[in-house]
Amino acid sequence: MNFTIRAATKVDCKDISRMIMELALFEKMTDQVKISSEELERDGFCPNPLFECLVAEVPKENKSKEGFTTVGYGLYFYTYSTWKGRSMYLEDLYVMPEFRGFGIGKGLLSTVAKVAKEKHCARLQLSVLDWNAPSRDFYATRGAQDLTVKEGWHLIRFDGQSLDDLGNDAQKK
Amino acid sequence: MNFTIRAATKVDCKDISRMIMELALFEKMTDQVKISSEELERDGFCPNPLFECLVAEVPKENKSKEGFTTVGYGLYFYTYSTWKGRSMYLEDLYVMPEFRGFGIGKGLLSTVAKVAKEKHCARLQLSVLDWNAPSRDFYATRGAQDLTVKEGWHLIRFDGQSLDDLGNDAQKK
């Protein structure tokens, strides 16, 4: 199947928003999704965007059952390593189930890596769930290191009440 | 012991660079450190900085054995969650060993959290090594969730040859 990978524009936000929800459904965490298409437009398509995004498109004759031609996305942003400098983090990589097996995921990932190289990023990092064996294999096959297995890194999060409490602690001083 | 927490300026980069190496030594990964004080100056103190940094200072009479008064730092940057929007990532939090136990680490962390709240970040995330029990306890005590334990997230990295190979794949198309 032919497909095209291109930088997302504002008008893609509805499709991206739809696929964010599809990915969260697969990850069994839809209750955590609070983002809207309008927020994506505001945050990603402004002078200093908070993220960048690629989308994958198929020709109209190959549209999905529901009529979609935008069938995958890769959303990333720039981070910083105090060991290596400018780096990149791939927040989401997603291809709709009926469009898997055609190289679209690989195309999105390699295009993200190309951007990372062009922007002089020393690293491209991402997170994957331990039960998501197909994704873990997908990245491992392409030479990625699992830093949680290899070096023992754990991901830690403050949010909601724990973040409020921490911030209030500072204000009391 | 009295201490002050303030935003880092360009002249702090030598101290930050020194402490980055001290932290890497503790983490047993000094071979991975490639960043220089000059690169920190360039990347963090420009119109669109790649990171922000807080430093902790003690009075001259409490200076370290080697004569340092800048004894801790917290380096962070802004990220993006496709579920929650603008977020923050704390890349490094460090206090020199002889200055631990005075609340400096807690002061740095809560000040980072305060900035996160002010900038409307829904989350503050970071990574910690599994054998670093004091740090894991430090965050857990303050209400952080260990997402690797709780949800099974693994951190994945492409760099060096694997990143080059990926990027070259895209260019061949």
Measured between beta carbons, the chain A residues lying within 8 angstroms of B48 are 48
Contacts of residue A171, defined as CB under 8 A and 6 or more positions apart, other chains included, come to B114
pLDDT for residue B1: 87
pLDDT (tens digit, 9 = 90+) per residue, B131-163? Answer: 999 999 999 999 999 999 999 999 999 999 999
- Residue/partner pairs of A139-144 with CB below 8 Å, 24 or more apart: A139/B156, A139/B158, A142/A106, A142/A109, A142/B158, A142/B162, A142/B165, A142/B166, A143/B158, A143/B161, A143/B162, A143/B165, A143/B166, A144/B156, A144/B157, A144/B158, A144/B162
What's the one-letter identity of residue A60? K
Tokens (6 digits) for A16: 């991206």
Contacts of residue B111, defined as CB under 8 A and 6 or more positions apart, other chains included, come to A170, B5, B54, B74
Q: Do B170 and A111 touch (CB under 8 A)?
A: yes
DSSP label of A165:
H
Instruction: Please return the burial class of B8, using the count of CB atoms within 10 Å of its CB with bins 0-12, 13-18 and 19+.
Output: buried
Among residues 53-72 of chain B, which lie with CB inside 8 Å of chain A?
none
Residue A9 has pLDDT above 70, yes or no: yes
Q: In angstroms, what separates the C-alpha of A129 from chain B's closest C-alpha?
A: 4
Strand pairing partners for B4? B57
% pLDDT > 70, chain B: 98
Nearest by CB: B32 against A32, A33, A83: A83
Q: In angstroms, what separates the C-alpha of B8 from chain A's closest C-alpha?
A: 15
Q: Do B157 and A123 touch (CB under 8 A)?
A: yes
Q: Which of A76, A80, A89, A139 is catalytic?
A: A139
- The band of A122, judged by pLDDT with boundaries at 50, 70 and 90, is very high
A24: contact with B, CB 8 A cutoff = yes
Q: CATH for B4-146, among 1.10.540.10, 3.90.1300.10, 3.40.630.30, 3.30.565.10?
A: 3.40.630.30
| CATH 3.40.630.30 is the classification of domain A4-172 | yes
Residue A172 has pLDDT above 70, yes or no: no
- The band of A173, judged by pLDDT with boundaries at 50, 70 and 90, is low
pLDDT for residue A27: 85
Q: In angstroms, what separates the C-alpha of A53 from chain B's closest C-alpha?
A: 11
Angle CA A41–A115–B40, to nearest 5? 95
pLDDT (tens digit, 9 = 90+) per residue, B68-119? Answer: 999 999 999 999 999 999 999 999 999 999 999 999 999 999 999 999 999 9
Q: At what angle do helices A104-118 and B160-171 cross, to 10 degrees?
A: 110
Q: How many CA atoms lie within 13 A of B15 on its CB side?
A: 24
Distance from C-alpha of B140 to C-alpha of B123, rounded to nearest angstrom: 15
Nearest by CB: B158 against A34, A82, A113: A113
- Average pLDDT of chain B? 96
